[in-house]
Every structure is written in structure tokens, then in C-alpha cells.
């Protein structure tokens, strides 16, 4: 299976849960040429939490500061990309479950024979999750460096 995984930094902001808030956030990033690897938003009480996985974390932080966003992060998540096949996500969560790792949240999509997923685990499970996902993947450069960067 052709699959790649990497630990990514994500940031989030909480905004009012009303039409146009997500468009405003995303337009701000577009105007400043900040590319996202992933974006997810969901209700959080009476507000909305918007999660950003920027390609360039320094550029994201610069724009967020300029826009006066109250940003939380960086925090860590896993970004997985690969050739789509029946059960790709089932295999992933099954192996994590077998290791007694709880997946806090997961978003996945398939497009034109490829799939992508972003998922979150508790900080205490980062290192073990990386080992499990890496074992499922084709050799990925920089995995040991990614683990070292996390300080786990």
C-alpha cells in the first residue's frame, strides 16, 4: 500500500457559530497566501472551533497575529495520505484500537483513487501512534525526526 504519514502542527480558533465566519477566516489566509494542508470546523457549545493545519506554520502565525485571532496551538495531529482501497481507514483505526489507543477525532476523504485523513490522539499516545502508523506505511523519511521534534 502506498501510504505516507506525518505529524503535523495544527492551530485552532473559536469563532461565533454563524454564517460567514469560516469564509472570513479562510479568505484572510488566502489573501496572505497561506496554504492549508487541512482545515476542519465543528460546533463547540454555542461557538465553532476552526482547526488549521498550515503548510507554513510561521506564515500562519504571522497572519493570525495580524488579524488579531486568539489562536491556540501548536498542537499535534497525524496527516495520512495514500492510495484509496477498501478498508484503509478501518485498518488504521483497528490497529490503533488493538494497541489501546483512543482516536480522539478523525476526518477522512477519498478523491480520484487517493485518500487523506487527519486524526488526533492524546498527547501521551503520540509516539506509539507514530510507530504503529509508520509500520503500516511505506518507508517514510523523517519519522524519527518527527518523533524527536515532539519531545516524546
Q: What is the pLDDT of residues 92-105, one digit of tens each?
A: 999 999 999 999 99
What's the pLDDT at 27?
98
Cell 495544527 appears where?
A: 10
Q: What is the pLDDT of residues 111-140, one digit of tens each?
A: 999 999 999 999 999 999 989 888 876 454
Q: For all residues of the chain together, what is the average pLDDT?
A: 89
What's the pLDDT at 134?
82
Q: Is 80 exceeded by the pLDDT of residue 54?
A: yes
What's the pLDDT at 136?
76
How far apart, in whole angstroms, are the C-alpha atoms of residue 12 and residue 92?
25
Q: Which domains does the chain have, with CATH numbers?
A: 3-7+76-150 (3.30.70.260), 9-75 (3.30.2130.10)
- 22-40 average pLDDT score: 97
How far apart, in whole angstroms, are the C-alpha atoms of residue 7 and residue 86?
24
How far apart, in whole angstroms, are the C-alpha atoms of residue 106 and residue 128?
17
The H or E element containing residue 119 is strand 114-121
- 15-27 average pLDDT score: 97
What's the pLDDT at 5?
86
Amino acid at each position: 500500500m502506498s501510504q505516507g504519514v506525518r505529524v503535523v502542527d495544527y492551530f485552532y480558533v473559536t469563532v461565533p457559530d454563524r454564517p460567514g465566519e469560516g469564509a472570513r477566516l479562510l479568505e484572510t489566509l488566502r489573501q496572505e497566501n497561506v496554504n492549508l494542508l487541512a482545515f476542519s470546523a465543528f460546533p463547540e457549545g454555542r461557538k465553532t472551533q476552526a482547526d488549521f493545519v498550515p503548510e507554513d506554520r510561521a506564515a500562519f502565525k504571522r497572519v493570525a497575529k495580524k488579524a488579531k485571532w486568539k489562536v491556540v496551538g501548536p498542537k499535534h495531529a497525524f496527516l495520512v495520505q495514500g492510495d484509496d482501497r477498501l478498508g484503509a481507514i478501518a485498518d488504521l483505526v483497528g490497529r490503533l484500537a488493538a494497541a489501546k489507543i483512543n482516536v480522539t477525532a478523525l476526518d477522512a476523504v477519498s478523491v480520484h483513487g487517493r485518500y487523506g485523513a487527519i486524526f488526533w490522539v492524546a498527547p501521551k499516545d503520540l509516539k506509539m501512534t507514530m510507530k504503529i502508523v509508520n509500520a503500516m506505511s511505506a518507508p517514510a523519511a523523517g519519522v524519527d525526526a518527527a518523533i524527536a521534534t515532539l519531545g516524546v
